[in-house]
């Protein structure tokens, strides 16, 4: 998901630890995350480090200008710059940004001058979210001296200086409250407590957009494998194979239900049917699947557009994961909401509700894409937008009659339905 998150706060507030934890959390959610810190690792940043250590004398005005120059370099660097990562659809997390210049140099120069230089510079990306970690200067100095007992302190690392800078930070964020998206995070408490506050702030400020896909008949055309396995199970049980109009109805709903509904209403035999079906499906049937045309383009375009993708299917999770891996699409999906072999799992609507909560998303940011009535009804239960695809296994008018919000004839239409843009 393309977004730019900045951490700010006094030295000793735990930014480094919290950035690492947030990056792990977002990576686990399927985002590609790039983290970096100021001053940069570029020559301009190395020069600043020598100023901060006291090795090279510099006036506060010059220091402010050095930070601006380094910041521009870090934004536009062609190898590893912030813009490059954002353009690639990644989440960038940065340890400090121009707010630090406003606070650290602003208090010895002219804050408005420092702001002007930055806000009038076209080569700086604006952050989507600024997390300001707050803690008393005394506690910060305690932490700095404990954690870095063997290293000399930098020029700003005294209680007096940090107290002044802390006040300056408050002035800076008060001044910018209508211009920037700033969230104050209480940085006292355990690492996990602070992490939780940060995750809540990140999710609240930018809930991920979630696209949930039914699998069979929506992402993959596995009719050949399914039909072959149904016929195999029927032959083995000595019952008549279903005709071509009935067999299509087996795709989507649980097999157990379909057997009882279309073949014979017998609990034990329906369970046995599922076993027979799986006997052929695990070794052979699951390889008889192919992607619908353009699916890879769709999934990668949705990811690039900032969507988190997950599968929501009634098919056993392991089967879905194996097929996704074999067909080269596993990398697009962050999670698989599907039953295990041994239980029937949750109702599809409840899976959608679970996914929204797991990813910290919202109903209005979520869509369910599927080819049958069960997908549309699940979307309705979870109160999310339903996108019905007509190329799958639904009966005539099934999607319309069950109130699909949008209908798609082709895979490319799905991109338009979800994003409003052409694929």
Residues with Cβ within 8 Å of residue 102, at least 6 apart in sequence: 111, 114, 115, 118, 168, 172
The angle formed by the CA atoms of residues 132, 47 and 71, to the nearest 5 degrees, is 40
Hey, which residues between 50 and 69 contact ligand TMP (CB under 6 A)? Answer: 52, 67
Q: Which of 178, 212, 145 is nearest to 351 (CA)?
A: 212
Nearer to ligand TMP among residue 48 and residue 211 (C-beta) = 48
- Residue 209 pairs in a beta bridge with 307
Contact characters 75-114, ligand TMP, x per CB under 6 A: ---------------------x---xx--xx---------
Across the beta sheet with 3-9, the strand order is 33-37, 91-95, 3-9, 129-134, 182-186
- For residues 300, 371, 273 and 231, what is the CA-based torsion angle, rounded to 10 degrees? -90
Q: Which is nearer to ligand TMP, 108 or 322 (CB)?
A: 108
CB 68 within 8 A of CB 121: yes
C-beta of 38: minimal distance to ligand TMP in Å? Answer: 4
Select 109 or 334, whichever has its Cβ closest to ligand TMP: 109
Q: Which is nearer to ligand TMP, 99 or 336 (CB)?
A: 99
11 lies in the binding site for ligand TMP (CB under 6 A): yes
**Does the footprint of ligand TMP cover residue 164 (CB under 6 A)?**
no
Which residue of the chain is nearest ligand TMP when measured via CB? 104
Considering the complex, what minimum distance in angstroms separates the CB of residue 219 from ligand TMP?
45
Q: Is 8 in the site for ligand TMP (CB under 6 A)?
A: no
184 binds ligand TMP (CB under 6 A): no
Q: How far is the CB of 45 from ligand TMP (least distance, A)?
A: 9
Q: What is the DSSP letter of 242?
A: P
Q: Which is nearer to ligand TMP, 92 or 309 (CB)?
A: 92
Distance CA 256, CA 260 (A): 6
> Which residue in 26, 91, 22, 28 sits closest to 335, CA to CA?
28
Residue 239 as a binder of ligand TMP (CB under 6 A): the answer is no
Return the DSSP state at 330. Answer: G
> Does 132 contact ligand TMP by CB under 6 A?
no
Give the burial string for 302-335 (b: 16+ CB within 10 Å, else e).
bbebbbbbbbbbbbbbebbeebbeebebeebbbb
Number of residues that bind ligand TMP (CB under 6 A): 12
In terms of CB distance, is 8 or 216 closer to ligand TMP? Answer: 8
Q: Does 214 bind ligand TMP (CB under 6 A)?
A: no
Binding flag, residue 281, ligand TMP (CB under 6 A)? no
Beta carbon of residue 16, minimum distance to ligand TMP (angstroms, whole number)? 8
Burial of 15 (0-12, 13-18, 19+ CB in 10 A): buried
Should residue 40 be labelled a site residue for ligand TMP when binding is judged by CB under 6 A? no
Residues facing 211 on adjacent strands: 309, 367
Residues in contact with ligand TMP by CB under 6 A are 11, 37-38, 52, 67, 96, 100-101, 104-105, 154, 156
């Amino acid at each position: 998901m393309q977004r730019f998150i900045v951490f700010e706060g006094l030295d000793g507030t735990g930014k480094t630890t919290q950035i690492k934890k947030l990056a792990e959390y977002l990576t686990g959610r399927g985002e590609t995350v790039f983290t970096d810190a100021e001053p940069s690792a570029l020559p301009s940043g190395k020069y600043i480090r020598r100023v901060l250590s006291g090795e090279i004398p510099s006036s506060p005005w010059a220091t402010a200008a050095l930070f601006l120059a380094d910041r521009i370099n870090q934004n536009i660097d062609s190898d590893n710059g912030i813009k490059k990562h954002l353009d690639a659809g990644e989440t960038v997390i940065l340890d400090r940004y121009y707010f630090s210049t406003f606070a650290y140099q602003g208090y010895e120069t002219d804050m408005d001058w420092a702001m002007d230089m930055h806000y009038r510079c076209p080569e700086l990306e604006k952050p989507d979210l600024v997390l300001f970690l707050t803690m008393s200067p005394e506690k910060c100095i305690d932490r700095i001296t404990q954690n870095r007992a063997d290293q000399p302190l930098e020029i700003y690392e005294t209680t007096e200086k940090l107290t002044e800078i802390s006040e300056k930070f408050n002035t800076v964020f008060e001044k910018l409250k209508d211009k920037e998206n700033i969230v104050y995070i209480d940085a006292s408490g355990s690492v996990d407590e602070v992490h939780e506050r940060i995750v809540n702030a990140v999710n609240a400020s930018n809930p991920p957009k979630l696209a949930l896909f039914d699998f069979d008949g929506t992402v993959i055309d596995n009719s050949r494998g399914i039909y072959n396995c149904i016929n195999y199970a029927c032959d083995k049980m000595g019952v008549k194979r279903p005709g071509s109009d009935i067999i299509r109805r087996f795709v989507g709903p649980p097999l157990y239900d379909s057997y009882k509904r279309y073949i014979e209403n017998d609990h034990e035999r329906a369970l046995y049917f599922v076993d027979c079906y799986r006997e052929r499906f695990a070794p052979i049937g699951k390889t008889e699947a192919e992607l619908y045309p353009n699916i890879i383009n769709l999934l990668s375009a949705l990811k690039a557009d900032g969507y988190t993708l997950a599968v929501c299917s009634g098919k056993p999770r392991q089967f879905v994961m194996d097929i996704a891996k074999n067909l080269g699409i596993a990398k697009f999906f962050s999670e698989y909401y599907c039953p295990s072999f041994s239980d029937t799992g949750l109702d599809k609507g409840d899976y959608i509700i679970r996914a929204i909560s797991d990813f910290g998303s919202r109903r209005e940011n979520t869509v369910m894409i599927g080819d049958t009535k069960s997908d549309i009804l699940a979307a309705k239960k979870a109160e999310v937008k339903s996108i019905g695809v007509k190329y799958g296994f639904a009966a005539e008018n099934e999607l319309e009659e069950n109130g699909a919000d949008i209908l798609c004839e082709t895979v490319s239409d799905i991109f338009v339905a979800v994003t409003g843009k052409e694929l």
